[in-house]
Structure 1
Amino acid sequence: MKDDDVIQWRFGDEDTLIADINVTADRIIVYDDVLDGRFRDRLKLDNQTGSLTITNITTEHTGEYKLQINIEIKIFILFVFDEVKSVSVKEGDSVSLNSNLTEMKNNDVIQWRFGIKNTLIAEINKRSDRITVYDDVLDGRFRDRLKLDNQTGSLTITNTRAEHDGDYKLMFTGRFSSKSFRVSVYGE
């Protein structure tokens, strides 16, 4: 940091100030009681670099973080995944991964991702009124097998095979929340 730096960390749609460093005034403040105390005793601010660390993170910390250093602004999107829901399906059957939404809102964007590389396999973008299924990724293992419910965002995988076994992540970018599923495909 430079001698005249002012660094602010903000969170969420309301741009709530959660941390502040003013080098000139030799002041470091962490506002961990804002937003119903969701950051209480969890924020650590590095007085050398201005880096922010959130400890003991939960899904309520998912969202948009803004770092402002003087007039420069950087935005970070943090997704915290809840516990993984396990689902078993017999090979050849269909499996539905439920988003738990009753309906999507106009600015919602949801993405379904698969595997350790988080490969994008399906997406609904209500802002641009677009539904896209990327069934040719991963050597076409999902070709003609993915069905998206444009009302709820739930994903159905039809005619499952062993190669569909793995981790699926649902990311709601309009709502900054997420869900994880572990699908196990078993034979006869």
Structure 2
Amino acid sequence: MNTKYLRVLTLVIFFICCWSLTGVFGDSVSVTEGDSVTLNTDLAEIHEDEDILWKCGAKYFTIAEISRDSGIFFTHDGPDGRFRHRLKLDHQTGSLTIMNTTTEHAGVYELEITGVKVTSKTFNVSVYARLPVPVISRNCSSSSSSNCSLVCSSSVLSVCDATLSWYAGMSVLSSISVCDLSISLSLPLEVEYQDKNTYSCVLNNPISNQTTHLDINTLCRHTCADSVHCCGSTEALIRLALSALVGVATVILLVYDIRSRRAEQDQAHIHTLGQ
């Protein structure tokens, strides 16, 4: 076969495969938990003879329907009520908005438009958890006289789509992403006390990120040898409270002892007078 025709045939097969995959997998839509997401029909306006159905789930249960000719504009809660008070229909275009999304709303949605011809479209909706700001703390137990040991951690439990990373400028130093819902993400880093580089800790997923910048002068200005003699504010308060309790207990014991001795002396004096 001629090489030119072979290339053309290869391109045709490639585009057919891409078109087929688009039909199978549909449009991918991502949203952060708590935000709204709109699934568009791509219609400028619904025609009088067109009916629209929005379906969801593996069994494609109906969650919204429009029949302009009959004046029907309905939304449904779904069999488990997950869409209650969360759906909004655009009466002009038929687009569907899901409000205050949760991870329950992730999945496959199907749009079916019935009119002169029947057309359908699928949407793959991904809902990502809202990311917290990562926290950088110092680890004195691992620090040395020359290096400051740090730990960046996230309060969010580990999920497969969230990654915690240390950056030096724009370069990634280390990353961690653990698919384990029972632990939280944490990542260590050691820097020199006089290091002039710019460091940051980033927690990200495919659609958002949260960043905390490291201030070496503030977090590492004292060596751990110097900080051994001091303690945190919480520990200091606990020690102060315990000292106060011991002091109060000592005073109470002294007062009790003095009163007991006076009582004994009074009893002895009365006994002497009686004789």
Instruction: Return the alpha-carbon distance in structure 2 between the equivalents of residues 65 and 45 of structure 1.
Output: 18
TM-score if structure 1 supplies the norm length? 0.56
Preserved contact between residue 152 and residue 187 of structure 2 (Cα < 8 Å): yes
Preserved contact between residue 89 and residue 186 of structure 1 (Cα < 8 Å): no
Instruction: Return the alpha-carbon distance in structure 2 between the equivalents of residues 180 and 12 of structure 1.
Output: 29
Write the letter of the residue equivalent to 1:169.
N
Preserved contact between residue 81 and residue 180 of structure 1 (Cα < 8 Å): no
Structure 1 or 2, whichever has the larger Rg, is: 2
Alignment size in residue pairs: 150
Q: Kindly indicate whether residue 135 of structure 2 is the aligned counterpart of residue 87 of structure 1.
A: yes
Q: What's the CA shift for 1:96? A: 4.4
| The 10-residue stretch of structure 1 (68-77 or 87-96) with the greater mean CA deviation from structure 2 | 87-96
Q: What's the CA shift for 1:179? A: 10
2:189 is aligned, of 159, 162, 166, to 159
Cα gap change, 1:162 to 1:58, in 2 (>3 Å): farther
2:174 is aligned, of 124, 145, 150, to 145
Write the letter of the residue equivalent to 2:62.
L
Instruction: Return the alpha-carbon distance in structure 1 between the equivalents of residues 85 and 108 of structure 2.
Output: 18
Instruction: Return the alpha-carbon distance in structure 2 between the equivalents of residues 183 and 35 of structure 1.
Output: 42
Highest relative contact order (Cα 8 Å, sep 6+), 1 or 2?
1
Q: What's the CA shift for 1:164? A: 2.3
Cα gap change, 1:75 to 1:83, in 2 (>3 Å): same
2:157 partner SS = coil
1:36 partner SS = coil
Which residue of the partner structure matches residue 36 of structure 1? 80
Preserved contact between residue 12 and residue 63 of structure 1 (Cα < 8 Å): no
Write the letter of the residue equivalent to 2:174.
R
Preserved contact between residue 132 and residue 154 of structure 2 (Cα < 8 Å): no
Preserved contact between residue 88 and residue 186 of structure 1 (Cα < 8 Å): no
Match runs of 1:1-188 below 5 Å:
1-32=46-77, 34-55=78-99, 57-70=100-113, 71-82=119-130, 84=132, 86-90=134-138, 92-97=149-154, 100=157, 110-112=160-162, 141-142=171-172, 144-149=173-178, 152=180, 156-159=186-189, 162-166=198-202, 168-170=203-205, 183=212, 185-187=214-216, 188=220
Cα gap change, 1:61 to 1:179, in 2 (>3 Å): farther
Q: What's the CA shift for 1:66? A: 1.6
Q: What's the CA shift for 1:75? A: 0.6
Instruction: Return the alpha-carbon distance in structure 2 between the equivalents of residues 184 and 111 of structure 1.
Output: 22
Q: What's the CA shift for 1:48? A: 0.7
Preserved contact between residue 84 and residue 179 of structure 1 (Cα < 8 Å): no
Q: What's the CA shift for 1:72? A: 1.8
Instruction: Return the alpha-carbon distance in structure 2 between the equivalents of residues 113 and 26 of structure 1.
Output: 48
Which runs of at least 4 in structure 1 moved beyond 4 Å after TM superposition?
96-99, 137-140, 153-156, 178-184
In the TM superposition, what whole-angstrom CA distance separates every residue of 1:72-125 from its partner, at most 9, and x where no partner exists? 213141425346254233475243447636xx9xxxxx33368xxxxxx8xxxx
Structure having the larger proportion of residues in strand: 1
Preserved contact between residue 7 and residue 21 of structure 1 (Cα < 8 Å): yes
TM-score if structure 2 supplies the norm length? 0.41
Preserved contact between residue 87 and residue 183 of structure 1 (Cα < 8 Å): yes
In the TM superposition, what whole-angstrom CA distance separates every residue of 1:117-172 from its partner, at most 9, and x where no partner exists? xxxx8xxxxxxxxxxxxx9x997521x412444x5287554427754244x2346x
